Amino acid sequence: MMKYDSIHGRYDGTVEVDGDSLVIDGHKVALSHTRDPAEIPFAKYGADYVCESTGVFLTTEKIQAHLKAGAKKVVFSAPAKDDSHTIVMGVNQETYKPEMQAVSCASCTTNGLAPMVKAINDAFGVKRGLMTTIHAMTASQPTVDGASKKDWRGGRAASGNIIPSSTGAAKACALVIPAIKGKLTGMAFRVPTIDVSVVDLTCELEKPTTYEEICAEIKRRANGDMKGYLGYCDESLVSTDFETCSISSTFDAKAGIMLDSTFVKLVAWYDNEWGYSCRVVDLIKYMAKEDAKAK
């Protein structure tokens, strides 16, 4: 799976196995096989920053095993299940403090939503809003109908259904943009595509404006301080055009609509695999840089 990917294609470099190591382009990556993170010799491997992607250890208390094994910091590639700090790159990375042991990179959908919300809220103010993510299917969904522990609809076949579901992405925005606390909520539709999702944000603004002014402001931020995190697109594209796009949230200027001067629907695309993975890496790099400054 390191060499071949159904969406992102074939890796052009070399991928080999050497004993208990994976060798990628000559760079040796140590492998371990255990359910207990305390048994992974992070100190021996020199792994100061650990990405917790099992979905099991999502609290500061639970990552103490990682720290005892030699890790210095842990980044959750999912929403935290406690009050561990949440960061969305391009939105609130400046709130990171070197004394933090665990940091959440939020979810792919929060990363797809928050940059657009920040740009809009900064310029026009968000009074209230409803968000829908039309989300590509994920590994947690079954290929055929079956029982689901979470909800009945979640057990239906992923490839043959549009499945209404829940998402905490809208509410999670308040963790990185405190000014919108209590102003956003949302839901999800899981659809039969295997990558790339899209956020639909319908909101009421505090300040009257025009759709042209909204587009201009998002374009300005996308080419300025939020470059790489917020994108701007004025072409008539579809989901596959955003495969392997590293930008967290690409605003679709041609897809939005406006009813009046304060009521608008905004649309943004995101590669929920590649784009989010890039943000996890960016967050770890940012933390390492800030930690080095604090020494």
pLDDT tens digits, 171-189: 899 999 999 999 999 999 9
Average pLDDT over residues 68-92: 97
Q: State residue 150's pLDDT score.
A: 83
The two three-digit tokens of residue 192, written as one number: 């039969």
Within this chain, do residues 10 and 54 fall inside the same structural domain, yes or no?
yes
Residue 281 has pLDDT above 90, yes or no: yes
Do 44 and 122 lie in one domain? The reply is no
Domain extent for 125:
108-272
Residue 246 and residue 212 in one domain: yes
Residue 6 annotated as part of some ligand binding site: no
Residue 295 pLDDT level (bands cut at 50, 70, 90)? confident
Q: Are residues 151 and 257 in the same domain?
A: yes
Residue 160 has pLDDT above 90, yes or no: yes
- Give the per-residue pLDDT at 12: 93
* CATH code for position 12: 3.40.50.720
Q: Is 208 exposed, middle or buried (0-12, 13-18, 19+ CB in 10 A)?
A: exposed
**Is 246 annotated as contributing to ligand binding?**
no
Q: What percent of the chain has a predicted confidence (pLDDT) above 70? A: 100
* 176 and 208 assigned to the same domain: yes
Q: In terms of Cα–Cα distance, which of 106, 100, 101 is closest to 86? A: 106
**Is beta strand 126-136 parallel, antiparallel or unpaired with respect to 184-191?**
parallel
Q: Say if residue 128 carries a ligand binding annotation.
A: no
Q: Which residue did the predictor score with more confidence, 20 or 110?
A: 110
Q: Binding site annotation covers 121? A: no
What pLDDT sits at residue 229? Answer: 99
Residue 101 and residue 58 share a domain: yes
The response to whether 108 counts as a known ligand-binding position is yes
* 32 and 164 share one domain: no
Average pLDDT, the chain: 96
139 lies in the same domain as 241: yes
pTM: 0.95
109 is in an annotated binding site: yes
Residues 126 and 197 in one domain: yes
Give yes or no: residues 211 and 256 share one domain: yes
Tell whether 196 and 219 lie within a shared domain.
yes
| Residue 9 to residue 6: CA distance in whole angstroms | 6
Over residues 84-129, the pLDDT tens digits come to 999 999 999 999 999 999 999 999 999 999 999 999 999 999 999 9
Catalytic residues: 108
Domain identity same for 35 and 90:
yes
Mean pLDDT of 255-262: 98
User: CA angle at residue 88 from 87 to 94, to 5 degrees?
Assistant: 60
DSSP letter for 195, please: S
Q: Which amino acid is at 238?
A: V
Q: Look at the chain and report how many structural domains it folds into.
A: 2
Apex 96 CA angle, 95 and 101, nearest 5: 145
Residue 169's CATH number: 3.30.360.10
228 is in an annotated binding site: no
Mean pLDDT of the region 204-216:
99
Report, in this order, helix, strand and coil percent for the chain, each rounded to 5.
Answer: 30, 30, 45
Q: What is the model's pLDDT at position 149?
A: 84
